[in-house]
A and B are shown apart, each in its own frame.
Chain A
Amino acid sequence: MVRERETPKQQQQVSYTVEQLVAVNPYNPDILPDLENYVNEQVSSQTYSLDANLCLLRLYQFEPERMSTQIVARILVKALMAMPAPDFSLCLFLIPERVQMEEQFKTLIVLSHYLETGRFRQFWDEAAKNCHIVEAVPGFEQAIQTYAIHVLSLTYQKIPRPVLAEAINIEGLSLDKFLEHQAANSGWILEKGHGRGQLIVLPRNEFNHPELKKIAADSVPLEHITRIFPILG
């Protein structure tokens, strides 16, 4: 029922990128240092790879003695920056409870909680008290501001200036500059609200303008129509 396979020729040594390693040979303890370096690379070059980071967290799960809490903290900050994607939770699922009880992780979990529940003012306050954690990762502030604008765009057609300011943590002249930039490049419109306030009109999308939602439900695919061609013919 069985015969021997021919032995394959010796394969040439090929150097793989980290992404290739994760795709081809993820369950391999030897790639742990590569994955750790890759996290640091993501931080310094402002790139991101969830798959590679999950791969590393898994290896830490398999061999807890090799875990570096500093690297884990950086992964979590990067995950926070990926919101609204649930990456932060996905990472927490793989980190042992006793590690999550450490101070720096408790802080990160609190920060995540504020962002998940739209409490931007509390978030920026807490982030300011822990700038050593968040300033270690370049691009953090912009990423959170992008997330804030995303949630606001789901919710508001027109938003009062103070609400926006609090959410993205920009005030005064900086905010004026920011608004000008958004008006010029992203289709924001600045209006006068009632009283002395300013109203910002956010770009239209299917979430804050329900009439834009495609009524996909009633479209009929062509394959279904072909069923009745014989009848119509």
Chain B
Amino acid sequence: MATTYDYEEAPATYDEGRHQDLGYDPNFVPDSVKSFVVHLYRHIREKNVYEIHQMYEISFQTLSDRLFKDTPWPSVDAVAHYVDNDQVFCLLYREMWFRHLYARLSPTLKQRIDSWDNYCSLFQVVLHRVVNMQLPNQWLWDMVDEFVYQFQSFCQYRAKMKNKTEQEISLLRQYDQAWNVYGVLNYLQAFVEKSNIIQILKQEKEGLEQFTATDGYDYSGGSNVLKVLGYFSMVGLLRVHCLLGDYQTGLKCLLPIDISQQGVYTSVIGSHIATIYHYGFANLMLRRYVEAIREFNKMLLYIYKTKQYHQKSPQYDQILKKNEQMYALLAICLSLCPQVKLVDETVNSQLREKYGEKMARMQRYDDEAFVIYDELFSYACPKFITPSAPSFEEPLVNYNQDAYRLQLKLFLYEVKQQQLLSGVRTFLKVYSTISLGKLANYMEVDEPTLRTILLTYKHKTHAVDSDGKIISNADVDFYIDDDMIHVVESKAVKRYGDYFLRQIVKLEGVINDMDRIKLE
């Protein structure tokens, strides 16, 4: 898949010209950077995961903030001789180099292509050679996450053909394999397959393997890199499929990971959030609103309780952004499927604060409501992409919004079909029985129309789950006997069993405490 293009310091290109303006010399290596690479190289050779993690998370950020606020790090050629010209270390260094570039600066087309080449080389090493390293999960997650992010960024960049220069167009034509969608998907798939991660997770359930228990790390002298990259690639595949609009397959890719439990995906906050965000979004588009609400609720509660611990982390801004987006998606789900009892009190009060008013307006299903659905969806949705190669024919156009517009249009279409359901709910909540004739009168429609509205209500509130079973997500339900509607009261079911269990344990605790006092 990789082109055989070797990375060179291209002399006197527009890159270097721009960098010279900023006083950037790719060959200048400050002492702190020399020290950084030397120590990081040593820790990697000695498989000291804790130290690697500290350097990766903290030192790299500190140096970036101090020395490389708006310039790239020194080039890999400049640091290579400090690390025995080790091929793999250089690939890892370049991976960090490009990630820093994307985060702080705007990559040129050439740099995008070079980054793709670097990923290819790095991934080829992991897939086809025996790698004897242990890297922190944070880093391995960031690799997959960044890989997908750069792919998405490239697709968006490439889709804006209108103002491309001659040079850019000729580069795009020449390097048409760079960030090719087949390449991206096949690398992720290759990681999943080569690592045998699906089998490992299956066998773990039967107690024949250890993976989650060790957070994916290998304590018998081996390497965690391929296994954990394979694991995170499943999340990567979910993400790419969501970007393409294929929610069904995305969820299928995630299936081997049991999200009702803790797992390696929860060992890194970024991975946890990315998994649940995309899982929830896919379920929303599949009309499985209850499932989406449940998972968003759990995730938002978790972020609420733990975000203080991530304040200093470089991922903090991303965490906050995804938090806000999930609240918006939750608002959408609850407006389409009003099951407030599924939401934790803490999350609910945050939701009311952020979107209380908007949710009330959404449930009115008038023109204004659609504007708000549009607004929230557009704010919270993934950055959909058009994966196909661009047309180089005149006139050159920008088509980077096409994918997003299609998903939005189809989403709003679904919302429109549910327009009349809100009115039905209001009436059903008030009556225990009512004749079709009377209700038709109140709703100002004729009887046949009312029958279709009631059928729509039933169809839309009874989703098909992943096993093909029908699941009701209706908050208020009914059945029709000839021409009488009988409303079904959904009582809040008291959970006596759980209550008694808790009290039994509590009482036992109190008795034990009392016994202890007597003995003293």
Residues of A within 8 A of B (CB): 1-5, 26-29, 50-51, 54-55, 57-58, 61-64, 84-86, 89-90, 92-94, 96-97, 113, 116-121, 151-152, 154-160, 163, 193-194, 199, 207-210, 215, 217-220, 224-225, 227-228, 231
Contacts and interface: CB of A to CB of B under 8 A. Distances in A.
A161 to B, nearest CB: 11
A48 B454 CA distance: 30
Nearest to A194: B482
A227 B505 contact: yes
14 contacts: A2-B88, A61-B387, A61-B388, A85-B464, A93-B407, A117-B452, A118-B454, A118-B456, A152-B455, A155-B480, A156-B479, A157-B480, A218-B493, A228-B501
Interface in B158-195: 181-182, 185-186, 189
Q: Decide if the interface of chain B is mainly helix, strand, loop or mixed.
A: helix
Interface stretch (B56-64, B123-131, B330-338, B357-365): B123-131
B414 interface: yes
B407 A3 contact: no
A228 B505 contact: yes
A154 B463 CA distance: 12
A177 B451 CA distance: 25
A51 B388 contact: no
A42 B88 CA distance: 48
Nearest to B459: A151
B504 A5 contact: no
A206 B454 CA distance: 17
Contact of B498 (A51, A96, A152, A220): A220
Given A93-B247, A228-B505, A215 B482 contact: no
Contacts of A55: 249
B458 A155 contact: yes
A93 B496 contact: no
Given A5-B128, A89-B414, A84 B249 contact: no
A75 to B, nearest CB: 13
A154 B482 contact: no
Given A5-B128, A220-B497, A231-B504, A160 B464 contact: no
A34 B87 CA distance: 41
Given A5-B130, A61-B387, A90-B248, A154 B459 contact: yes
A84 B407 contact: no
Given A93-B407, A217-B495, A207 B286 contact: no
A159 B495 CA distance: 36
B410 interface: yes
Contacts of A158: 480-482
Interface in B209-264: 244-249, 252
B146 interface: no
Interface in B66-104: 86-89
Interface string B443-459: 00000100111111011
Give the bracket for the number of chain B residues in contact with chain A.
35 or more
Given A90-B286, A210-B488, A54 B246 contact: yes
A220 B501 contact: yes
A64 B186 CA distance: 19
A51 B248 CA distance: 8
A94 B246 CA distance: 7
B88 A207 contact: no
| 8 shortest interchain CB distances as A-B pairs | A118-B455, A220-B497, A93-B245, A27-B185, A118-B452, A210-B488, A217-B493, A154-B458
Interface of B: 44-45, 86-89, 125, 128-133, 181-182, 185-186, 189, 244-249, 252, 285-287, 387-388, 402, 405-407, 409-410, 414, 417, 448, 451-456, 458-460, 462-464, 468, 470, 472, 477, 479-483, 488, 493-498, 501, 504-505, 508
A116 B460 CA distance: 8
B286 A92 contact: no
B339 to A, nearest CB: 14
Contacts of A119: 452
B459 A116 contact: yes
Contacts of B132: 1-3
B343 to A, nearest CB: 17
A86 to B, nearest CB: 6
B173 to A, nearest CB: 16
A90 B247 contact: yes
Contact of A93 (B406, B468, B479): B406
A160 B131 CA distance: 71
A193 B470 CA distance: 30
Nearest to A121: B448
Given A27-B186, A157-B479, A228-B501, A84 B388 contact: no
Contact of A160 (B388, B402, B407, B483): B483
Nearest to B449: A119
A27 B504 contact: no
Nearest to A231: B508
A54 B129 contact: no
Given A210-B477, A220-B498, 5 more contacts: A28-B186, A93-B406, A97-B406, A218-B497, A228-B504
A60 B224 CA distance: 37
B248 A62 contact: no
A117 B417 contact: yes
Contacts of B189: 26-27
Given A84-B459, A151-B459, A163-B451, A58 B246 contact: yes
B470 A207 contact: yes
B285 A93 contact: yes
Nearest to B493: A217
B482 A199 contact: yes
